[in-house]
Structure 1
C-alpha cells in the first residue's frame, strides 16, 4: 500500500521532497505519493505576488544549494551514488543548461539569482518531475483513522485530502502587522507590493521592526527611497552580521555533529549564524548609509496619534525592565515569519493527539524540542513533519535552503504508515498545474 505524504505549501522544501520521491520511484524504489496543497503557485513566496519579495532581490544562499544539495544521499544502500546522479538532472546547473542560460551565468561570475529566477527554477523542477499540486487552501486538519484529513477550499470547491503524513512548510502569511488597517503601518506584503509597483516611499522618520533577513531585505530596498532616517527596532544589543565562513556554513550543510552539541551550544550557534542576523552584503550597505540607526527593544504597544505611529518599546537593562515611547511617520513591520502559523488549523481531535505526544499543551518550545531525526514530531503517529522547527534539534540548515537534499532524505526515509493500517479512502484530486 503506497503511502501519501501531503505537503502544505509548494515551496523549495516541497519541490525537493517531490523530486527525490519521483527519482526513487523511477529507480524502482518504493516512495510515498507526494501531494502538495498550494493556494497560489509553485514558489509563490519567491515571486512579487507572494508578499515576501518584489522578486528582484538576490538570493541570500548560493543557488548551487539546490533541491539536491549536498548530494550525499543515504536512502538506498549500494545505490546512493546512482540516486545522487539522478537528482543532478534537477540541479541549478541543469536548469541553466536546459534553458540556455548556463554560459551567461558563468561569464557573469556565477551571481546569486534574483528571487523571481529562483522561483522559475523551482517551477521547472516541479514540471520536470510531475509534482502533483492541488490549487487551494488548507482550512482544517483532523484525524481520519490512522491518518490525517485535510479540509481544503480549492478551485473545485470544498474537499478533503487524506494523507498518511503531513509536512507543513512556509513562513505563514505576510499580511500581518502590529496595527492592521492603518496606512502609516505597512505589513511585509504591503511593503513589497508597493516596491513591486515601483511606488516610492517618502517619509521623514521610518521604523523597521525586526533584526533578521526579512527586515534586512526591506532595509536593502529602503535605501533607494526618499526617507530621512531609518530606525531598526530589534531586541538584540546590536545588529549582528551572519557568519558566512567555511566553518559556519558547514553547520548548515553537514549536521553530522550537531546532535553532539549541548543545547546551550546549539542555541548559541543559531544565534550567531541564523536568527536575528544580517548578511555581510546587507551590513556593508548599512555601513555606507548614514540614515540607519538601531534601537534596542521589543514592541509592546502601538498607537496612532498626532499623525504619527507611537511605539512603546520594552527592554531589560541592568536587571530592570524599561519602557520607552518613540514616534515615527511610517512603520514597516518586518518581524518576519510565524513558524507556528499552521497550529490554528488543527481540529480538537488532532490537537488532543499532538498534545498527548508532547506531554502537555502545544507550544513552540515543546514542538521544537520534540523534533526527531526524520524532522517529525516525536512520538506522534501519524507523522507530522515540521522542518521549519527542526533547527534546534537537527541542525540550522533544515529550516532554510541550506541542505534540501538532506531534508528530503530525512523525510522520505521515515516510516509513514503503521504495520497494519486501516483501510483508507483514496484521494480523488487530480494534479492541478
Structure 2
C-alpha cells in the first residue's frame, strides 16, 4: 500500500515531482503514487492552445534549470548522489542528446529555447518516467475522512479522485479580462490566440495592464505590430528591471539563508527580483522603442464609450488618492496569473478544515504565511502543497522554474501517510495517455 499524491495541472512542477518519484522508485525507495489531473495536455500552458503564449517567445529562465536543478537531492539519505545521477537522465541536455539537438544548441551559444521547445522537453520527461495523467478539469475539492476528494469532468465523463495529499499548480485561467465580451478588450488568451494565428494588431492607442513577465511578453510581441503608442499600467512607480546577477539568481537556486531574513527583507527581495518586474532582455527592447510610456496606478474599472475603452485609474500623489480617466483604442489585460484561483473549488467542509488550520478566514496573506518547509499549509491534514504561494516563507525559486529539483525533494519528503490509491469513476472515464 502506498500513499497517493494528486497534482492539479501537468506542468513543470508536476513533471518534476513525477520524475523524482520515478527515480526514487527505481532505487527501491518508498514513494507515493503521483497522479496529475490535467484538463488539456502535459505542458499545455507553454503551447499556443494554453492561452499563455504563442509558443515562439523564449524561456525567461535558463533551460539548464530543468526538472532536476540544482541537482542537490536530499530525498534519499546516503544515496543522494545516485539520485542526482538518475535525475540527470531527464535533464535538458539529455533531452537534446536523445533528440539529436545537443551539438546545434551548444554551437548556437546555448540559447534559451522558445516555449514550444520547452513544452517538448517536459513531454519527453513525462514519457520517459511513465507519468500518470488523468484527463479532466477539477470542478470541486472536497474531503472524505482524512483524504482529499477531487471531482473532475471531461468530455469522457466524470471521475472522483481520492488522495492522501494534494498539490496545486498552474496560474489559473487566462481568459479573464476587465471587460469580457468587448472586442476592444483582449484577455491574455485572446491576445496570444491572435498572435499564434499571425493576426496583426492595428491600433492607434494600445494599453497593456500589468507590470510582470506576463505583460512583458505581451509587450515583446506588440513591438512587431502596427500600433502608434503603447501604454503600460502598473502599480509600481516605474518599470523596474529584474535583478539577474549572480547574487540575485542564487536566492532562487539556493534558499538556505532565506529563513534567516526578516519578512520585510524577504518581501523586498521578491519585489526587486521577481514580482512586477521585467527581464533585462525586455527592458532593452523598451529602451529602443519610443512608442512606450508608463502610467502608475491600479485599474478600477473600464467602460466602452465613443468607440474607445475608458479606463479609470486609481493612484495617489503625496499621500492623497487620485482618480484619472484615460481613453484607449485597444486594452490588453495582461495583469497576469491569479495565485488564488483554486480557492473557489473548495467545498464548504474543505474550506472549514483549512480555515481551522489557518486560525481565520482563508486569505492570500494567511496562506502564504502558513507555508512550511515541505511547501504545504502547516497544521493541515491531509497535506495541501501550494508551491506557488511558498515564495515568502521558503524562497522565491519555488513558485517558478528556478529550483524544481528542490521542490520535488520537499514535497516527496513530506509524511503523506500510507493509503491505497483510489480513482472512482462516476461514468465511463479512464486514465488518459499523456499525448
TM-score (norm 2): 0.97
State the distance in 2 between where 1:199 and 1:331 align: 16
For residues 267-286 of structure 1, what are the structure 2 equivalents within 5 Å? 267-286=267-286
Q: Distance in 1 between matches of 2:308 and 2:431?
A: 51
Map Cα deviations across residues 330-350 of structure 1 (whole Å, 9 max, x no partner). Answer: 000000000001001100000
Structure 1 segment 202-241 matched on structure 2, within 5 A: 202-241=202-241
**Can you list the C-alpha shifts for 1:293-313, whole angstroms capped at 9, x where unaligned?**
000000011000000000000
**Matches of 1:424 and 1:122 in 2, distance apart?**
25
2:74 corresponds to which residue?
A: 74
Partner of 2:246: 246
- Aligned residue for 2:379, secondary structure, equals coil
Match of residue 430 from structure 1: 431
| Equivalent residues of 1:135, 1:155 under 8 A apart | no
CA distance in structure 2 between the partners assigned to 1:244 and 1:31 by the alignment: 36
- TM alignment of 1:24-423, pairs within 5 A: 24-417=24-417
Shift of the alpha carbon at 1:23? 0.6
Secondary structure in structure 2 of the residue aligned to 1:25 = helix
Is contact 1:37–1:136 with CA below 8 Å preserved after alignment? yes
Structure 1 residue 77: Cα displacement: 1.3
Q: Secondary structure at the match of 2:65?
A: coil
* 1:427 to partner: Cα distance: 5.2
CA distance in 1, matches of 2:249, 2:148: 36
- Aligned partners of 2:412, 2:316: CA distance in 1, in Å? 44
Give yes or no for contact 2:163–2:422 (8 Å, CA) kept in 1.
Answer: no
Q: Return the alpha-carbon distance in structure 1 between the equivalents of residues 328 and 255 of structure 2.
A: 43
- Residue 90 of structure 1 aligns to a residue whose secondary structure is coil
Q: Displacement, 1:430?
A: 3.4
Q: Deviations over 1:280-303 (max 9, x none)?
A: 000000000000000000001100
The answer on whether the counterparts of 1:134 and 1:154 sit within 8 Å (CA) in structure 2 is no
- Structure 2 runs not aligned, ≥5 long: none
**2:210–2:336: 8 Å Cα contact kept in structure 1?**
yes
What SS does the corresponding residue of 1:278 show, helix, strand or coil? coil
Deviations 1:233-269 (A, max 9, x none): 0010000000000000000000000000000000000
Shift in CA distance, 11/425, structure 1 to aligned 2, threshold 3 Å: closer
Report the Cα offset of residue 54 of structure 1.
0.2
Q: 1:301/1:177 Cα in 2 relative to 1: closer, same or farther (>3 Å)? A: same
Secondary structure of the 1:378 match is coil
Which whole-Å CA distance do the structure 2 matches of 1:327 and 1:106 have between them?
A: 48
Distance in 2 of aligned mates of 1:64 and 1:164 = 32
* CA distance in structure 1 between the aligned counterparts of 2:301 and 2:87, rounded to whole angstroms: 49
Hey, what's the Cα distance between the residues in 1 that align with 2:360 and 2:64?
41
Once the two structures are superposed, what CA deviation does each residue of 1:356-408 show, in whole Å capped at 9, x if it has no partner?
A: 00000000110000000000011000000000000000000000000000000
Q: Tell me the distance in 1 between the aligned counterparts of 2:207 and 2:422.
A: 52
How high is the TM-score relative to the length of structure 1? Answer: 0.98
Aligned residues: 430
Alpha-carbon distance between aligned partners in 1 of 2:422 and 2:90, rounded to the nearest angstrom: 33
Q: Deviations over 1:1-25 (max 9, x none)?
A: 3000000000000000000001100
Paired with 2:17 and 2:405, the residues of 1 have a C-alpha distance of 8
1:38 CA drift (Å): 0.3
Which consecutive segments of 4 or more residues in structure 1 shift more than 6 A? none
**CA–CA distance in structure 2, aligned partners of residues 417 and 387 of structure 1:** 20
The 8 Å contact of residues 51 and 174 in structure 1, kept in 2 or not, is answered as: yes
Q: Deviations over 1:188-209 (max 9, x none)?
A: 0000000000000000000000
- RMSD of the TM alignment (CA)? 1.1
- 1:13 aligns with 13
Mean Cα deviation higher: 154-163 or 10-19? 154-163
SS of the residue 1:256 aligns to: coil
SS in 1 for 2:89: helix
| Unaligned runs of at least 5 residues, structure 1 | none
What are the superposed Cα offsets for residues 158-214 of structure 1, whole Å, 9 maximum, x if unpaired? 110000000000000000000000000000000000000000000000000000000
Q: How big is each residue's C-alpha offset from its partner over 1:1-53, in whole Å with a ceiling of 9 and x where there is no partner?
A: 30000000000000000000011001000000000000001000000000000
Matches of 2:323 and 2:339, distance apart in 1 = 27
